[in-house]
Amino acid sequence: MKFVNIDVDEHGHSYFKDVDLPQTGPAHRISSKNQNVLWWKMSVSQPGHSIDFAKAPALMFVAVFSGQMNVTVSNGETRHFARGDMVTMWDTTGQGHMVKFGGDEPCKVLYIALPDKGEFKNL
């Protein structure tokens, strides 16, 4: 399963990388291994709302259920996330990332805090 990861380099600059989570199973139902979680929360952000550069509060897995979320990393690259998109945020140090919510509908997002990178550690 392909998704986007935000990581941080040795200078504290965040950047995007495309990753593929290993999965197993028959072609009609593949899945990844179970991952441990610390906590989760849902949020709803209105179009036009923005969050200035901030670090992720924990190692995060983020899934967008509706609306649009535009994320900018410290090198200036911006990626657009919409319903069905997933991103992991490892930028718990450094400058972090910026988020702007766009589109015509509220952006509903599921945030899942992870105790470690688990199966993601080698991605």
Q: What are the per-10-residue average pLDDT scores of the chain (123 residues)?
A: 90 93 81 88 97 96 97 97 95 96 97 87 64
Query: What pLDDT sits at residue 25?
Result: 83
Task: Give me the pLDDT at residue 20, please.
Answer: 82
pLDDT at 16: 97
Confidence (pLDDT) at 26: 84
Domains and CATH numbers, the chain: 2-18+37-117 (2.60.120.10)
51-86 burial, b at 16+ Cβ within 10 Å, e below that, comes to eeeebbeebbbbbbeebbbbbbbbeeeebebeeebb
Against a cut of 0.85, is the pTM above it? yes
CB 114 within 8 A of CB 33: no
Give the pLDDT score at 1: 75
